[in-house]
């Protein structure tokens, strides 16, 4: 506990009281993001079959959406600008 207090005091001196909360917030967010990424990686390693099925389902949804977009675009082409000069 004494080491943490010493580190906090050194950080307070070098960083300043106004920037310290911003630094702590950024550090906390970084640690949280790292933990989420580690958890996702761990889930992939432990359940590769489930992850593959989920990924395949997502790819199928994206492909279906793309196909619908192509179909809609080909059915309703945008009006062409034609010049009608006399």
pLDDT tens readout for residues 33-47: 999 998 888 877 777
Please determine, for residue 72, whether its predicted confidence score (pLDDT) is greater than 80: no
Two tokens, residue 42 = 């761990």
Q: How far apart are CA 13 and CA 5, in angstroms?
A: 12
pTM (2 d.p.): 0.42
Q: Give the per-residue pLDDT at 71.
A: 66
Q: Yes or no: say if 52 and 60 are a contact pair by the CB < 8 Å rule.
A: no
Q: Give the per-residue pLDDT at 78.
A: 53
Region 50-64 average pLDDT: 73
Region 62-81 average pLDDT: 65
Of 54, 26, 57, residue with least CA distance to 40: 54
Region 4-27 average pLDDT: 85
Of 45, 46, 43, residue with least CA distance to 35: 43
Alpha helices in the chain (DSSP H): 2-15, 20-46, 48-75
């Amino acid at each position: 506990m004494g080491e943490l207090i010493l580190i906090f005091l050194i950080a307070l001196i070098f960083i300043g009281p106004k920037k310290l909360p911003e630094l702590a917030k950024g550090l906390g967010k970084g640690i949280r993001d790292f933990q989420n990424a580690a958890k996702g990686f761990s889930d992939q390693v432990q359940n590769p079959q489930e992850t593959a099925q989920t990924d395949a389902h997502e790819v199928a949804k994206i492909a279906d959406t793309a196909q619908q977009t192509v179909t809609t675009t080909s059915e309703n082409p945008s009006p062409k600008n034609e010049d009608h000069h006399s």
